[in-house]
Amino acid sequence: QVRLVESGGGLVQAGDSLRLSCAASGRTFVNDAMGWFRQAPGKEREFVAAITRSRGNTFYADSVKGRFTVSRNAPNPVYLQMNSLKPEDTAVYYCAGGLVSGTPSDGKYLFWGQGTQVTVSS
C-alpha cells in the first residue's frame, strides 16, 4: 500500500527558509506529477507547487513564485524548498501523488500524506 510522509516543517521567523521532503513507500504507482498543497486555519486547501515525473516540468501558485522551488529525485522523494517565508505561508503542508486525471494544480490525486506543520512568525 502506498504511503506518503512529509517532513521538514517547523517554526521559523519571517525571511527564513525551510526544506520539506515527501517520501513515498509501498507499491509502485504510475503518475505524471506529484504536488504540494497547503491548508491554513479557517481556509480551503490550496495548490502550492507540482513537478512532473517524465519531464521535470514545474508548476507554482502565484503566491509562491520566485520564493519556493519544487524538485525531485525520481521516483521520490520530492522536495519543496521554501525561501523568504512570510507569516501568510503558515499552514499544514501536504504532498500528493498518483495524479490520474486533470492538471497538476486541480486534478485528482490518489495518495496524500498526513501533512507537516509550517509556522512563520513575524
pLDDT of 58-85, one tens digit each?
Answer: 999 999 999 999 998 866 789 999 999 9
Q: Which residues, including other chains, have CB under 8 Å from residue 60's CB and lie 6 or more apart? A: 48, 49, 68, 70
Amino acid at 92: V
Check: CB of residue 29 under 8 Å from CB of residue 112. no
pLDDT at 54 over 80: no
pLDDT averaged over every residue in the chain: 92
